[in-house]
Amino acid sequence: MLPPPVLEEARETLLALPGVGLSTLALSHRTKVFAGINEGAEADIRALAAIPAHYRVLFLPGGARLQFAMVPMNLLAPAATADYIDTGFWSQLAIKEAAKLGTLNVAATSFEGRPRLPAQGELRLTPGAAYVHITSNNTDSGTEWHTLPEVGAAPLVSDSTSDLFSRPIDISRFGLVYAGAQKNLGPSALSVVIVREDLLARSPEALPSMLSYKTHAEYHSIFNTPPIFGMYLLRLMVKWLVAGGGLPAIARINERKAAQLYAQIDRSSFYEGIAAPDSRSLMNVTFRLTDPHLESRFVATAANEGLHGLAGDPVRGGLRASIYNAVPEEAVDALVQFMREFERTHG
Ligand X SMILES: *Cc1c(COP(=O)(O)O)cnc(C)c1O
Binding site for ligand X (CB under 6 A): 63-65, 90, 135, 139, 159, 161-162, 180, 183
- The Cα 278–Cα 325 span in angstroms is 21
**90 flagged as catalytic:** yes
3-state secondary structure of 332: helix
Q: Contact 285/262 with Cβ under 8 angstroms?
A: yes
User: Of residues 44, 90, 140, 145, which has the active-site annotation?
Assistant: 90
> What's the half-sphere exposure (Cβ side, CA atoms, 13 Å) at 28?
3
Q: Which residue's CB is nearer to ligand X, number 13 or number 160?
A: 160
Q: Which residue's CB is nearer to ligand X, number 63 or number 142?
A: 63
- The Cα 152–Cα 129 span in angstroms is 10
CB of 296 vs ligand X, minimal distance in Å: 24
Q: Which residue's CB is nearer to ligand X, number 90 or number 338?
A: 90
Q: Which residue's CB is nearer to ligand X, number 74 or number 160?
A: 160
- The string of DSSP letters for 102-121 reads SEEEEEEE--SSS--PPPGG
CB of 227 vs ligand X, minimal distance in Å: 12
Q: What distances in angstroms separate CA 259 from CA 80, 87, 241, 325, 342, one per listed residue?
A: 42, 23, 21, 15, 20
Q: What distances in angstroms separate CA 210 from CA 102, 188, 316, 322, one per listed residue?
A: 20, 19, 36, 33
Q: Which residue's CB is nearer to ligand X, number 1 or number 14?
A: 1
User: Of residues 83, 140, 183, 313, which has the active-site annotation?
Assistant: 183
- The Cα 241–Cα 117 span in angstroms is 28
Strand ranges of the sheet holding 284-289, from the earlier edge strand across to the other edge? 271-273, 284-289, 317-322, 311-313
In eight-state DSSP terms, residue 290 is S
CB of 139 vs ligand X, minimal distance in Å: 4
Q: Which residue's CB is nearer to ligand X, number 176 or number 339?
A: 176
CB of 162 vs ligand X, minimal distance in Å: 3
Q: Which of 122, 121, 128 is nearest to 103 (CA)?
A: 128
Q: Which amino acid is at 259?
A: A
Shortest Cβ contact with ligand X: which residue? 63
User: Of residues 140, 159, 163, 313, which has the active-site annotation?
Assistant: 159
**Residue 215 CB coordination number (10 Å):** 16
CB of 292 vs ligand X, minimal distance in Å: 25
CB of 317 vs ligand X, minimal distance in Å: 18
- What residues are annotated to the active site? 90, 159, 183
